[in-house]
Amino acid sequence: MLLDLLKKRCSVRKFLEKDIPKETINYILEAGRLSPSGGNEQPWKFGVITDKGLIKEISKLAYNQKWIETANLLIVLCTTIVSDERGGRDIQMARFPKLKNKIKEMDKELYSKLNQEEHQTKIPGTHMVLAALEHGIGSTWISYFKVDELSKLLNLPKNYIPSEIIAFGYPAKEMKPVKKKSIDEILFYNKKLFKQ
């Protein structure tokens, strides 16, 4: 059951030296492929990194998060920049009408980097994390890394922006989920009156 899986999940930062079978990697990737996206644009590419040397290089670019070196698989979730018109700038102008003119005038490169629709890659990433856990594989999300340097290292085309990396592997120790807020702390119903 999905909730059982979610209750088990926690970030894993130490992995066993044990390769993930190819079929399992394919299962994880398939879970990502089937994700929803705005306008079904699927504005993403998934980089599959299994080369240990490359994993080490990436751990350096992630501000020396040494634990990443123990991962057996990294999936680099990249956002592909969607056009300014469809799914891009026009959508944000519609979502924030008061800021319409400011959004319109923003420099193209800056706009693309800030509005890289990275929220969209969180969806396939979440599917992948759960698909991996079904196979006893732990993971941790990584967004603390030097984006431009990673693009360079992986020879990525200009319109691919690495938004997150997920490190996968078999957990080296027992997984201990951390405490989450209670349901009462995170809900509001209908038009609850908020004190300003």
Q: Does 50 bind ligand FMN (CB under 6 A)?
A: no
Contacts 24+ apart (CB under 8 A), 84-92: 84/108, 84/111, 86/39, 86/41, 87/38, 87/39, 87/41, 87/43, 87/117, 88/115, 88/117, 89/115, 91/38
181/192 with CB nearer ligand FMN: 181
Task: Using the minimum distance from each CB to ligand FMN, give the nearer residue, 89 or 117.
Answer: 117
Give the shortest CB-139-to-ligand FMN separation in angstroms: 9
- Sign, Cα dihedral of 124, 128, 130, 134: positive
* Closest distance to ligand FMN from the beta carbon of 21 (Å): 24
What is the rounded distance in angstroms from the CA atom of residue 18 to the CA atom of residue 70? 10
Residue closer to ligand FMN, measured from CB, 77 or 81: 77
The contact mask relative to ligand FMN for 116-145 (x = CB under 6 A, - = no) is ------------------------xxxxx-
What SS3 state is found at 190? coil
Task: Give the contact letters, 162-191, x = binds to ligand FMN (CB under 6 A), - = no.
Answer: --x-------------x-------------
Closer to ligand FMN by CB, 57 or 84: give it.
Answer: 57
Minimum distance, C-beta of residue 121 to ligand FMN, in the bound complex (Å): 10
**Cα 163–Cα 169–Cα 175 angle in degrees, nearest 5:** 100
Q: Tell whether residue 65 is a contact of ligand FMN (CB under 6 A).
A: yes
Q: Half-sphere exposure of residue 63, counting CA atoms within 13 Å on the CB side?
A: 6
Residues near ligand FMN (CB under 6 A) are: 10-11, 65, 140-144, 164, 178
